[in-house]
Amino acid sequence: MIAWILHAEGLDPGFMIGGIAAHFGRNYRLGRGGHFVVEGDEYDTAYFEKTPKFLHYQPDVGVITSCEFDHGDIYASLDEIKEQFRSFARLIPPNGRLIANLDDADVVEVAAAATARVEGYKAGRSAEWTVGEAMATSSGMQVTLARNGHEAARGILPVTGFHNVLNALAAVAVAVGEGISPQSALSRLESFRGVKRRQEVVGEEAGVTVIDDFAHHPTAVKVTCAGIRRRYPKRRLVTVFEPRTNTSRRSVFQAAYVSAFYDADLIVLREPRDVGAIPESDRFDSARLARDLKSGGQEARAFGDTDGIVAFLSTELHYGDVVLVMSNGSFDGLVGRVLAMLKER
């Protein structure tokens, strides 16, 4: 979002992000302007360089949207992760800015390490940047943004989910520091086409809408399901999830996933693959999650392979359904296979 605002303002930024920007058809760009936007996190840089990626940067402006436990193959605790975020906050020079999500208590904690000016943003009041209104519409989210308690901008964001409203708020805060007005920044986002595999509507066949998303952490799964539910409030939401990351294939998030699918009507799960190197007691168990979801009153099924999922969906999907596929991998081409199956049917 930040890169798009700067681009639309004619500032010709460079960028490197973790997904394919729909407008540019790539995840990087070398601009000729004076800005470069880079997305980073606490994951290690490479197998031969275990320093977190974002500690290699020398940012003038930083944004911290969240801080929570992940990457259980690298970190033993949330405290270890927070220490990396503190180091990131300290990288920003005193004359720089840190835009921090104050709705996240752990972000508040790590932001305290910054010597730069901290600009807080959150859903409610008591922050420099806040959301005054956010209402789902057929064309996206109708939002009003405020600064220091006064309306700063209003418009339509062509995205779904309140987490994306907060992301837009952070992007606007960054843009304002670069000399762009809040209203102009928000208006630029009205033409934002998003990032591939982020709530991407891939196609519709036989009255069934198929959406592809990269979500894998329980929080990402939860906000993605909630966003799609708000976008399609009256349609049955079928979520298909593959635990594929090093952490999601382990039992560390076994309990957390139970509440992550709250907004789904039917949850279809694949058992994790390539778990031979993980002790059996530490492996994520999709069948167990399905049982736990059923105990909570939800409809859920677990399958050992993708072929079984396709076969199940071929008889289960009906006109009007929305299928949300979530995996950080190819999921054996599941999205395309489901669309092809629906077209043949």
pTM for the predicted model, two decimal places: 0.82
User: pLDDT value at position 345?
Assistant: 77
Residue 118's pLDDT band, with cuts at 50, 70 and 90, is: very high
User: pLDDT value at position 173?
Assistant: 97
User: pLDDT value at position 89?
Assistant: 97
Residue 161's pLDDT band, with cuts at 50, 70 and 90, is: confident
Q: Does any domain span residue 14?
A: yes
Shared domain check, 244 and 142 = no
Structural domain for 85, as ranges: 2-189
Shared domain check, 174 and 214 = no
Residue 292's pLDDT band, with cuts at 50, 70 and 90, is: very high
User: pLDDT value at position 106?
Assistant: 96
238-272 burial code (b ≥16 CB/10 A, e <16): bbbbbbbbebbbbbbbbeebbebbebbebbbbbbb
Residue 122's pLDDT band, with cuts at 50, 70 and 90, is: very high
The CATH number for 51's domain is 3.40.1190.10
How far apart CA 330 and CA 188 sit, in angstroms, is: 32
* 3-state per-residue secondary structure call for 169-204: HHHHHHHHHCCCCHHHHHHHHCCCCCECCCCEEEEE
Q: Does any domain span residue 195?
A: no
Shared domain check, 211 and 152 = no
The string of pLDDT tens digits covering residues 29-85 is 999 999 999 998 888 888 888 888 999 999 999 999 999 888 777 888 889 999 999
User: pLDDT value at position 323?
Assistant: 98
Show which of 189, 209, 232 is a domain's final residue.
Answer: 189
How far apart CA 233 and CA 178 sit, in angstroms, is: 38
Shared domain check, 135 and 36 = yes
CA 334, 336, 337, 342: dihedral to nearest 10 degrees?
A: 120
How far apart CA 123 and CA 132 sit, in angstroms, is: 8
Shared domain check, 87 and 126 = yes
User: pLDDT value at position 144?
Assistant: 95
DSSP calls for 191-243: T---BTTSSEEEEEETTEEEEEE---SHHHHHHHHHHHHHHSTTS-EEEEE--
Asked if residue 138 has pLDDT above 80, the reply is no
How far apart CA 171 and CA 333 sit, in angstroms, is: 33
Share of the chain above pLDDT 70, in %: 100
Asked if residue 125 has pLDDT above 90, the reply is no
Mean pLDDT of the chain: 92
